[in-house]
């Protein structure tokens, strides 16, 4: 009997590629093979970032399709990306499946699509192939999307998704309260783009509902309220713990600088502030400088990920003399092997943009958080971290919208000065470990999902 052959299609962003690759690695370990479909733009980035002697696992084949954008266009323009993809990618996915199916014993037996990109599910439905929706972010985010029709009926948003007034909304106990002006589609991009993104989300949510099965990179222990709102959604996470991935995290868009691990080896246990804002956050010069000076004021060791594109000309943006003044306790790098960094015993807290992968990685290592959400679902994750789980603190902005250096120093001192944050974080780490081990709920759901694929 031939091995099950899965076509896996992530939304084309770093925080979506990595968890679907983690799932693909689990499936390959269980005797499946996976054709993993990136956009041409991201495929090139992943291949370029793979270190020498570092290849994809056997059983995972990386392929690419166009995303419908011109080579020179900005892929961080989410509105433009959501407009372009559905015009080009569905047809190319069909052609790809037809091409694969020409080879004997190679037939695609199941499509697993990121729930944030619904058209691969539509393609699978049309071609009569098994279809699974994979939700790579918090279950609460999908609960928000499922509640869109009710929010329109209740006059919270209009039919374009625009909030009618600023208000707090909560769908269930133990699900974070959400501010209407920070709904995922509203805060991604102002103006016309939010209508495009809103209609894209509505189409994807419909597709998720016709999938044969729905799985989520989360755990019931972390968000019981959200899973109760979507009873057919099965938690299978945190996937990074199911894999305990060794080596560099596969699928990174940047080359990882592992020299920071040697630097961490020189630091005291539980002493280093790790600052990393994911793959999309950008800062203006004033905010960048306040952050630098806030870290300097703390007088504590820190490891700060300064992506080349986090600000125009990062090298020039540091305050004058900053690098010299912090040379013996501050380390700035372009990109890190984050899972290894967060596992390192010298890390004391995670100063994060609260993307869901980063949130799971921090929780899985029992770390307290300082929250700096930038856009999309990151505000929901911040609500979990600060209000529901109480393992982190949020920052207050001043009247001009800036998080000041004094505020940064105050919150760092507060989070590191109160053992309760760490204690609660360690409890969540334990819950995460329990659910992915043999007999745990996420582990059982993952095994049942694999059986369903093979059936």
53 pLDDT above the threshold of 60: no
Token pair 């043999």 is found at: 438
pLDDT tens by residue, 105-135: 889 999 999 999 999 999 999 999 999 999 9
pLDDT tens by residue, 280-293: 999 999 999 999 99
Which helix (H) or strand (E) segment is 330 a member of? Answer: strand 330-333
Write the DSSP string, 436-449: HSTTSHHHHHHHHH
Q: Which candidate, 333, 383, 396, 335, places its Cα nearest to that of 356? A: 383
Work out the burial of residue 388: count CB atoms within 10 Å of its CB; fewer than 13 is exposed, 13-18 middle, 19 or more buried: middle
Token pair 């290592």 is found at: 365
Q: Give span(s): CATH 3.40.50.2000, the chain.
A: 5-247, 259-432
Q: What are phi and psi of 95, to 5 degrees?
A: -60, -40
Per-residue model confidence (pLDDT) at position 250: 75
Per-residue model confidence (pLDDT) at position 190: 62
199 pLDDT above the threshold of 60: yes
Peptide bond into 238 cis (omega under 30): yes
Per-residue model confidence (pLDDT) at position 252: 86
52 pLDDT above the threshold of 80: no
Pinpoint the alpha helices (H) of 266-377. Answer: 285-298, 314-317, 322-325, 338-343, 356-363
Classify 147 in phi/psi space as left (phi over 0), alpha (psi -120 to 50) or beta. alpha
Q: Identify how many contiguous H helices and E strands the chain contains and give both numbers.
A: 20, 15
Per-residue model confidence (pLDDT) at position 315: 74
Band (pLDDT 50/70/90 cuts) for residue 57 is confident
Region of poorest pLDDT, from 187-201, 243-257, 303-317: 243-257
Write the DSSP string, 307-321: -TTSSTTHHHHSPTT
Handedness of CA 93, 94, 97, 103 (dihedral sign): negative
Q: State which CATH number among 3.40.50.300, 3.40.80.10, 3.40.718.10, 3.40.50.2000 fits the domain covering 259-432.
A: 3.40.50.2000
For residues 111 and 9, give the distance between their C-alpha atoms in angstroms, rounded to a whole number.
8
Residue-wise over 121-141: b if at least 16 C-beta within 10 A, else e?
bbbbeeeebbbbbbbbbbbbb
Band (pLDDT 50/70/90 cuts) for residue 245 is very low
**Radius of gyration of the CA atoms of the chain, in A:** 22
Per-residue model confidence (pLDDT) at position 247: 44
3 versus 7: which is more confidently predicted? 7
- Check if CATH label 3.40.50.2000 holds for domain 5-247: yes
Per-residue model confidence (pLDDT) at position 191: 63
Evaluate whether 121 touches 134 at the Cβ level (below 8 Å). no
pTM reported for the whole predicted model? 0.96
The average pLDDT across 312-325 equals 89
For the chain, first and last CA: distance in Å? 12
For residues 41 and 38, give the distance between their C-alpha atoms in angstroms, rounded to a whole number.
8
Region of poorest pLDDT, from 36-40, 306-310, 404-408: 306-310
pLDDT tens by residue, 322-331: 999 999 999 9
């Amino acid at each position: 009997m031939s091995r099950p052959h899965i076509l896996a299609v992530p939304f084309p962003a770093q925080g979506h590629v990595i968890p679907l690759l983690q799932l693909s690695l689990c499936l390959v370990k269980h005797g499946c093979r996976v054709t993993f479909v990136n956009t041409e733009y991201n495929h090139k980035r992943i291949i370029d970032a793979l270190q020498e002697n570092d290849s994809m696992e056997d059983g995972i084949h990386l392929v690419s399709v166009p995303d419908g954008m011109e080579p020179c266009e900005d892929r961080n323009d989410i509105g433009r990306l959501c407009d372009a993809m559905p015009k080009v990618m569905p047809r190319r996915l069909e052609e790809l499946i037809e091409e694969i199916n020409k080879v004997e014993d190679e037939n695609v037996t199941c499509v697993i699509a990121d729930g944030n990109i619904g058209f691969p599910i539509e393609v699978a439905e049309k071609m009569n192939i098994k279809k699974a929706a994979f939700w790579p972010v918090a279950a609460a985010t999908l609960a928000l999307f499922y509640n869109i029709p009710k929010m329109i009926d209740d006059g919270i948003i209009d039919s374009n998704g625009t909030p009618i007034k600023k208000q707090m909304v909560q769908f269930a106990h133990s699900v974070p309260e959400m501010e209407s002006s920070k709904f995922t589609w509203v805060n991604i991009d102002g103006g016309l783009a939010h209508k495009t993104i809103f209609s894209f989300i509505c189409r994807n949510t419909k597709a998720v509902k016709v999938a044969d099965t729905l799985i989520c990179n989360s755990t019931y222990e972390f968000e019981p309220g959200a899973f109760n709102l979507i009873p057919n959604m099965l938690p299978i996470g945190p996937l990074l713990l199911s894999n305990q991935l060794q080596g560099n995290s596969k699928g990174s868009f940047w080359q990882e600088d592992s020299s920071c691990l040697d630097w961490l080896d020189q630091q005291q246990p539980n002493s280093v502030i790790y600052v990393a804002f994911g793959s999309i956050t950008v800062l203006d010069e004033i905010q960048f400088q306040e952050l630098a000076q806030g870290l300097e004021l703390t007088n504590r060791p820190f490891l700060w990920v300064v992506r080349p594109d986090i600000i125009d000309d990062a090298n020039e943006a540091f305050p004058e003399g900053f690098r010299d003044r912090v040379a013996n306790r501050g380390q700035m790098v372009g990109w890190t092997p984050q899972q290894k960094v967060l596992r390192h015993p010298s890390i004391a807290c995670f100063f994060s943009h609260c993307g869901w992968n980063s949130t799971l990685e921090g929780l899985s290592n029992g770390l307290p958080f300082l929250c700096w959400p930038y856009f999309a679902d990151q505000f929901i994750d911040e609500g979990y971290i600060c209000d529901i789980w109480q393992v982190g603190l949020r920052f207050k902005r001043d009247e001009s919208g800036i998080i000041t250096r004094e505020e940064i120093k105050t919150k760092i001192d507060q989070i590191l000065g109160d053992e309760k944050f760490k204690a609660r974080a360690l409890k969540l780490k334990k819950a995460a470990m329990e659910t992915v081990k043999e007999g745990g709920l996420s582990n059982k759901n993952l095994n049942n999902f694999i059986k369903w694929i093979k059936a």
